[in-house]
Amino acid sequence: MQKYKLIKSMRKTLTLQVKWWELIVKAPFFTTKKTIEGFIYKHSLWIEEKLEIHKNKKKLSDEDIKNLRKEAKKYIPDRVKFIANKYWLKYNKVRITSAKTRWWSCSSRKNLNFTYRLILTPIEVIDYVIVHELAHLKEMNHSKKFWLEVEKMMSDYKVHRKWLKKEWMNID
């Protein structure tokens, strides 16, 4: 059986995450060990594939990170400004972070945060993430109304969202 780190919480579903060499299982509080191990077994090919990807991945050097942060700080705020102006949206400030799990967010104070890692994705994906966060300026949730706002700004957003869901673990 694959070794794993277990995180139990008030969630409703089981999920798997592979971070570098570690398998993380997130499960509802009352999930049995048998259920968890069955879930891991069912997804063992996927897990092995992700572990192999991470094993072969080059870890970024401090210099790489410094350069990527610099590039992100130059590109992302300008792009946010451009897209926001196009749709007459007002935000407070843009921050570039080193976040590893929460790659982007929009606060109730209209502050937009993006990880420098976003610069490693295709330009269309960066635009999708920016559009996603700007849509939160109108709808601070992920309701149907929110997704309609995203679609108004980027009609093909689903393509970029799908790419991100598939590839985000391979970045950095």
Please report, in tens digits, the pLDDT of each residue of the chain (172 residues total): 678 889 999 988 988 887 766 788 999 999 999 999 999 999 988 888 777 766 666 677 888 889 999 999 999 999 999 999 999 999 999 999 887 767 788 888 989 999 998 888 889 999 999 999 999 999 989 999 999 999 999 999 999 999 888 877 666 5
Q: How many CA atoms lie within 13 A of 149 on its CB side?
A: 21
Using DSSP's 3-state secondary structure scheme, residue 107 falls into coil
DSSP 87: T
Q: Does domain 62-170 have CATH number 3.30.2010.10?
A: yes
CB 139 within 8 A of CB 153: no
Q: What's this model's pTM, rounded to 2 decimal places? A: 0.69
Which residue from 12, 41, 36 is spatially nearest to 25, judged by alpha carbons?
36
pLDDT at residue number 72: 93
* Backbone dihedral angles phi then psi of residue 18, each to the nearest 5 degrees: -115, 120
β pairing state of 5-9 and 22-28:
parallel
pLDDT at residue number 80: 96
Using DSSP's 3-state secondary structure scheme, residue 49 falls into helix
Q: Where are the beta strands (DSSP E) in 10-155?
A: 15-19, 22-28, 94-97, 104-106, 112-115
DSSP 79: H
